[in-house]
Amino acid sequence: MRTVTIVDCGLSNIDSAVRALEYCGGDPVVTRDPAVVRAAGRLVLPGVGAFPEAMRRLNEAGLTDAIREAAIHGERPVLGICLGMQLLATAGQEMAFTQGIGVIPGDVTPLQRADATERVPHIGWNTVEDIGDCPLLKGVPPLSDFYFVHSFHFKPNDPAHMMGQTPSYGGFAAIVGRGLAFGAQFHPEKSQANGFAILKNFVGL
Amino acid sequence: MVKIRVMPTLLHRDMGLVKGERFDSWRRTGSALQAIKVYNMRGVDELVFMDITASPDGRPPDFDLIDDLADECFMPMTVGGGVRDAEDIGRLLGVGADKVSLNSHALANPDIIAEGARTFGSQCIVLSIDVLRGPDGRLEVMSHGGKRPTGKDPVEWAKRGADLGAGEILLTSIDRDGTFQGYDIALAKAVAAAVDVPVIASGGAGDYAHMADVLRQADVAAVAAASIFHFTEKTPAEAKKYLKKEGFNVRI
């Protein structure tokens, strides 16, 4: 069993991430302690919530620097899920400009409808194209569906950090990655077989 | 393109699941945990869980029950019934709800919608609207499990809710609920045309063709159904196969 440290900022649904990671061969540990985060072998940052409130809580708990150090200097595998993915960016524009954790350079901006059939928030199952030879998508059939529920999206500054794309809203980042730090805009823990394949790949990194 | 969702609704009352007709005449159909385990195996798109007596009984959500159910639920789950404020929303998300549905308390105090959206994001705030069509055809939003008239027009209330930050509208026709006569298409059409957020049509599905009818005529993102999935042999998977054949973009 590989230990997976789940960062709990008190806004998110930790239980389903814990259960899904157990199912996928991980040994989840939930923490708010920056020292535990710094020492972690691999990190999951789940997330439901609004960007400013989540960053406020991470900053207050001293977790922002701990996550950035573990990801960038420690080169530990990190997986941000949904809002957790967006928090890896340089900054977010949800409600107010807010500094992010700054692991993967980019901004989090509102989804724009490409045509009248698209609605915001983007809620439901949609496809992800592997455009960056993404290790998380290894073994996942092309154009598999994953569950999304979000109004904002991550725009990486470097196109090479875009690893999976969803062809709606003009095409947005479904998976970003830099080194061993990844973010998934969808919820792997709620995406059944395809989602579990992603989590298994992450636990195996 | 995002897929059309087919969502079973679990109506919970007094410790078990029930099926009703026009928000009345409840009959027991089994336990929620059992239903969730079955839907897990069937790879259902998303579940709606409604504690339908919470608000009428003046009761808060049963957080322990939701916690137990969410632990077994490997699909997205929207939870509603008795949600009073942002604190309740936070607790429900914390125990495993993916989205939280507001209804009676939001009608009494619409600021709950804005407060929930500000703290947790619009994407997890669902505004549930129960609508009664009067004998003259006039539509009215009802609260407290369909028991109290509000004087509100569903289209105006949906617009106001979306403006305040609701990220999705769960639109239920009380007249059609449990009747197997088909969705109230005119209602779904009017509300879906008035807002930019996704709308879920609910109430009245009697066969798969009813789902195709409302999807074809109203711009709804999802169809929800309770009675046909819990009281007949029909399943969400068969519904999606049918819809696929009819040319709809569904996840098989």
Mean local confidence (pLDDT), B206-231: 95
Say what the pLDDT of residue A12 is: 67
CA distance A17 to B241: 30
Say what the pLDDT of residue A177 is: 97
Structure token pair of residue A34: 């920056």
CA distance A150 to A153: 8
Nearest to B5 by CA among B220, B229, B168, B208: B220
A-B C-beta contacts closer than 8 Å: 120
Say what the pLDDT of residue B29 is: 74
pLDDT tens for A171-196 read 999 999 999 999 999 999 999 999 99
Structure token pair of residue A140: 């996942």
Structure token pair of residue B215: 């999807």
Residues of A annotated as catalytic (active site), given as ranges: 82, 187, 189
Q: How many domains does chain A have?
A: 1
pLDDT tens for B62-95 read 999 999 999 888 899 999 999 999 999 999 998 8
Residue owning tokens 């105006």: B156
**Contact call for B5 and A95, based on CB within 8 A:** no
CA distance B5 to A147: 11
Pairing of strands A78-81, A98-99: unpaired
Say what the pLDDT of residue A190 is: 92
Say what the pLDDT of residue B147 is: 93
Residue owning tokens 């939001």: B106
**Contact call for A124 and B46, based on CB within 8 A:** yes
Mutate to test the interface with B, among A93, A117, A123 (most CBs of B within 10 A): A123
Buried b (16+ CB within 10 A) or exposed e, A185-205: bbbbbbbbebbbbbbbbbbee
Q: Are B236 and B44 in contact (CB under 8 A)?
A: yes
Q: At what angle do helices B111-120 and A51-60 cross, to 10 degrees?
A: 50
CA distance A91 to A72: 17
How far is CA A74 from each of CA A68, B36, B172, rounded to the nearest angstrom? 9, 40, 51
pLDDT tens for B147-156 read 999 999 999 9
Which chain B residues are closer than 8 Å to A125 by Cβ? 2-3, 5, 45, 251
By Cβ distance, the residue of B2, B94, B99 closest to A126 is B2
CATH number of the domain where residue A125 is located: 3.40.50.880
Say what the pLDDT of residue B30 is: 77
Domain span holding position A133: 2-203
Mean local confidence (pLDDT), B24-35: 82
Type of residue found at B210: H
DSSP A73: I
Q: Which residues of B touch A (CB under 8 A)?
A: 1-5, 43, 45-46, 67, 70-71, 73-76, 90, 93-99, 117-124, 167-168, 196-198, 219, 221-222, 251
Say what the pLDDT of residue B23 is: 84
Q: What is the DSSP string of B84-134?
A: -SHHHHHHHHHHT-SEEEE-HHHHH-THHHHHHHHHH-GGGEEEEEEEEE-
Q: Are B78 and B126 in contact (CB under 8 A)?
A: yes
Q: Quote helix, strand, coil % in chain B, to nearest 5.
A: 35, 25, 35
